[in-house]
Structure 1
Amino acid sequence: MDNLKKMLTVAAIVALTSQIYIKIFVSDFNISVAIILFPILLTFFKNLNPSQTGILSALFVYGLRIFVFGLRHGEYAPAIDSYFPELFFYMGYGVFYHILNENSSPFKMKRFFINLVLCDFFSNLMEMYVRINWEMLEPKFEIVGVLFLIALVRTFMVCVFILALKYYRMLILNQDHEERYRKLLWIISQLKTEMYWMQKNMDNIENVMSNAYSLFEKINSGKDEDRWAQMSVDIAKDVHEIKKEYGLIFRGVEGIIENKLKDSGMDFKDIIKILNDSMIMEAAIKGRGISIEFKCGNSFYTEKHYQLMSIFRNLIVNAMEAIDGDIKGKIVFLHLCEENLHVFKVSDNGCGIDENEKPLIFTPGFSTKIDYNTGQINRGLGLSLVKDIVEKQFEGIIRLNPERKTGTEFIIEIEKEKLEVC
């Protein structure tokens, strides 16, 4: 449904801009501005099918041409035949674009330029042949040369616009990143202050423990009975001070998070780009030869980017740790849009989870990750944190895929209205 709306929008824009044109060679052969916007819009809406969009645009342009002709001349019949060949131009352009520019291949401007020139040139040739039957394919080198020049000029304008848009978006993104970096530095400086008070409290806790044990020994041995009451009061007073200072620390950290993390939202595709870069670095630091693949559906704007980043990072790091160093690891992140839901899937080809451990994986403190060199065990808070964010902050669902035979796959479902900002 979303793609249909976008196709209708593209077709309407192309039809409207097709009214800006010049006539050359033969009657009703129009060179319009529309074909400059058409590939730009296809580049912007990558999920659209170019062939279908080209056919729909052709019908819109054809219909609008007939309508405008009728308004000007009071009749419609002559326009039906006159503008019919133009259908072949837009349909041909969409089909050629679909064939030459595959979504799966990486974008390269040089190849894109050549492909657009070919699309424009051969689509114009198709229309011209339909209009004049090319006099039994007799060569018209003058016409061919002009059509090729028009294709070059229009493609050059398309590529200049796309490059300008690309660099503008990079500039905006860099400015946004700089602002976030400044905020992050401020947060770190404030957290360091709170860490000082936490360290001070650690010393106080050590003193309380020492005093409590000293009191225990005196009571056990029956010594200094006259000091027991005073020592008990001192311990209670110290505990009260520790509690009071931890309350101040908690309010301080809470204030930092609430006040300084209230910044503008992000596009989902930018979140994934940052996540991709950071996870590649994480895999390199861990010394793992793990490939990470991101497959994302339609992007959306959200103000919950910190929460999403925390969810996805925890799941991907868990997947990394589940992959044995002896195998070629692969992690796949998949995003789908289903009706009113955003569905996120994180899967790996690791060792999987034992059946008897599956009911416990979201329990705080539960972990199967042990460093046998140091004897240290993982805190087991990652999946518990993920579940907490998904269910309490997004009112969503997180579950294991029970049908997966190898590795592990987590599935998260969140309503669109909980994530998207209009």
Structure 2
Amino acid sequence: MGNLKGVLKTGVIVALASQIYINLFTSDFNISFGLILFPVFLFLFRKLNPYQTGMISALFVYILRIFAFSVRYGEYSTALLAYLPELFSYVSYGIFYHFLNRKNIQTDLTKFFMNLIICDFFSNLIELYVRMQWKLFDSELSIVGMIFMIAIARTTIICIIIVALQYHKILILQQDHENRYRKLLWITSQLKTEMYWMEKNMDHIENVMSNAYSLFENISNDECRDEWADMSVNIARDVHEIKKEYGLIFRGIEEVIDNKLHDSGMNFKDVVKILKDSMLIQASSEGDNISLEFNISENFYTDKHYQLMSIFRNLIMNSMEAIGPRDNGKIVFRHTTDSENHIFSICDNGCGIKTEDSENIFSAGFSTKINYETGQINRGLGLSLVKDIVEKQLGGKIEVNSKHSQGTEFNITILKQILNV
């Protein structure tokens, strides 16, 4: 449905652009701006079907030309036949474009340029051939050379427009990346300050633990009874100080997030691209030979990109840890939609989850992952965090299907009205 809307919008714009033209050879043969915008749209929006776009554009151009003619001259019967051959131009352009560029030749601008010349030349040749009652090669062979020169000139304009748009897009992306980098740098510096206070409080916590244990020993051994009250008061006072310090830290972090993370939003495809690039770097840095596959059904604009990134990153990291250093590890990220929801799934062919562990995987601190070389155990906060973001912040639902030694699949459902801006 989204692709059909794009085709219709393109058809309308091309039809409007076709009203800018010059006449050549015959009074009804037009060199229009519409055939410049037509391939530009096909290049920029790769999901547009060239067949459909060509036919819809041709139909809209035909209708608009007849309407303009009737408004100008007060009748339309003459225009019905006069503008009919122009239908062949757009339809044939779409057909040629599809066959010449179906292997995504747009990445090679030189080949793309040559292909557009062919599309433009033959589509105009077909229109003129029909318009001149199939006598083009009998009496007007010199016209062919002129059509070829027009094809080169118009294709040059098309490529200049495309290159200019790409350059403009790169500039915008660079500015956006610079702004995000400056913002990230500011946030990091602020968080470093809060981390200093957290490290400072670690000493207080150690003192509290030590004093509490000393009090426990004294009570257990019934020793120093006259010091119990003072020790209890000291412990309570230290806990209060720690609580106050962490309250300030939490407020500082909250201010950083509230002030600096209120971006207008991002396209979902950009979120996925950043996610994919970062996860490939992560896998490469750890020496894991894991293939990552991303399938997206449609793009959408969202202001919940930070939450989505946290969800997907934690789940993919979890999958990478479950796979470990294997040669055939695979993680598949899939996005689909229904009438009301976005549906995300992340599945892997890792070690899976044991039946006795499945009820606890979303509990904070629970982890089955341990590095036997270092003795370090995973913090076990990733899945707990994911569940909290999905259900409490985004009002969604998360489910897990897993078979031990075969793999795991997480499925997340979130309403479109929550994610879409």
Tell me the TM-score normalised to structure 2 length: 0.92
Secondary structure at 1:294's aligned position in 2? strand
Give 3-state SS (helix, strand or coil) of 1:263's partner: coil
Distance 1:99 1:346, change over 3 A: farther
Give the superposition deviation at 1:46: 2.4
With over 3 angstroms needed to count, the CA separation of the structure-2 counterparts of 1:273 and 1:241, relative to structure 1, is same
Q: Aligned-pair distance for 1:355?
A: 5.0
Aligned to 1:383: 383
Amino acid at match of 1:297: S
Once the two structures are superposed, residues 316-335 of structure 1 have per-residue CA deviations (whole angstroms, 9 ceiling, x without a partner) of 22222232533333333233
- Which letter does structure 2 place at the counterpart of 1:249? I
- Structure 2 counterpart of 1:349: 349
Partners of 2:57 and 2:90 within 8 A in 1: yes
Partner of 1:93: 93
Q: How far apart, in 1, do the equivalents of 2:288 and 2:15 lie?
A: 52
AA of the residue aligned to 1:166: Q
Distance 1:250 1:388 in 2: 18
Relative to structure 2, which stretch is displaced further, 25-34 or 136-145? 136-145
| Structure-1 separation of matches of 2:407 and 2:138 | 64
Instruction: Flag the 1:221–1:70 CA change in 2: closer, same or farther, 3 A.
Output: closer
The answer (yes or no) to whether the contact 1:20–1:32 under 8 Å persists in 2 is yes
* One-letter amino acid of the counterpart of residue 170, structure 1: I
DSSP 3-state at the match of 2:307: helix
Quick one: distance in 2 between partners of 1:156 and 1:277? 35
Residue of structure 1 equivalent to 2:42? 42
1:163-189, Cα deviation, whole Å (9 max, x unpaired):
111121221121122122112122222
**TM-aligned CA distance change 1:395 to 1:103, over 3 Å:** farther
For 1:259 and 1:99, locate their aligned partners in 2 and report how far apart those are by CA, in whole Å. Answer: 51
Question: Where does residue 336 of structure 2 map in the other structure?
Answer: 336
Correspondences of 1:275-294 after superposition (within 5 Å) = 275-294=275-294
Q: SS of 1:331's equivalent?
A: strand
Give SS of 1:361's match: coil
Moved more, 277-286 or 405-414: 405-414
- What's the offset of the Cα at 1:396? 1.9
> Where does residue 254 of structure 1 map in the other structure?
254
Return the letter of the residue paired with 1:33.
F
Q: Which one-letter code corresponds to 1:95 in the other structure?
A: I
Q: Is the 8 A contact 1:340 1:415 kept in 2?
A: yes
Residue in 2 that maps onto 1:204: 204
The letter of the residue matching 2:368 is T
CA deviation after TM superposition for structure 1 residue 299, in Å = 2.4
Change (3 A) 1:47 1:163: same
Contact 1:265 1:301 in 2 (8 A): yes
Answer with 230-239 or 6-15: which moved more: 230-239
Q: How do 1:157-196 residues align onto structure 2 when only pairs under 5 Å count?
A: 157-196=157-196
* In 1: Cα distance, 2:226 partner to 2:351 partner: 63
Distance 1:19 1:187, change over 3 A: same
Higher mean C-alpha deviation, range 283-292 or range 105-114: 105-114
Q: Contact 2:353–2:402 at 8 Å: present in 1 too?
A: no
Match of 1:264 in 2: 264
More displaced stretch, 329-338 vs 411-420: 329-338
1:153-206 per-residue CA deviation (whole Å, 9 max, x = no partner) reads: 111111111211112122112112212211212222222222222122111121
Paired residues of 2:22 and 2:32 also in contact (CA < 8 A):
yes
Distance of 1:28 and 1:353 partners within structure 2: 72
CA shift for structure 1 position 402: 7.8
User: Within 1, Cα distance between the matches of 2:351 and 2:402?
Assistant: 15
Gaps of 5+ in 1: none
Residue pair 1:46, 1:103 contacting (<8 A) in 2 also: no
Partner of 1:9: 9
Counterpart amino acid of 2:44? F
Instruction: Please give the alpha-carbon distance, in whole angstroms, between the structure 1 residues aligned to 2:54 and 2:363.
Output: 53
Secondary structure at the counterpart of residue 107 of structure 2? coil
1:124-174 residue CA offsets vs partner (Å, 9 max, x unmatched): 121122122443854854222211221111111111112111121221121
The code of the aligned residue for 1:206 comes to: E
Quick one: which amino acid aligns to residue 274 of structure 1? I
Deviation larger for 40-49 or 200-209 = 40-49
The answer (yes or no) to whether the contact 1:394–1:418 under 8 Å persists in 2 is: yes
Q: Quick check: 2:128–2:136 contact (8 Å CA) kept in 1? A: no
| CA apart distance, 1:281 | 0.8
CA distance 1:22–1:308, shift in 2 (3 Å)? same
Change (3 A) 1:173 1:72: same
Q: Once the 2 structures are TM-superposed, how far is the Cα of residue 8 of structure 1 from its aligned partner? A: 1.4
Distance 1:38 1:279, change over 3 A: same
User: CA 1:250/1:388 → structure 2, altered by over 3 Å: closer, same or farther?
Assistant: same
Query: CA–CA distance in 1 between the matches of 2:136 and 2:117?
Result: 25
Q: Deviations over 1:363-421 (max 9, x none)?
A: 33333322222233222222222222122222122224689x96433332222221122
1:4-403 → structure 2 map (5 Å cutoff): 4-102=4-102, 107-135=107-135, 137-138=137-138, 141-355=141-355, 357-400=357-400
Using the TM superposition, give the Cα deviation of residue 104 of structure 1 relative to its aligned residue in structure 2, in angstroms.
5.8
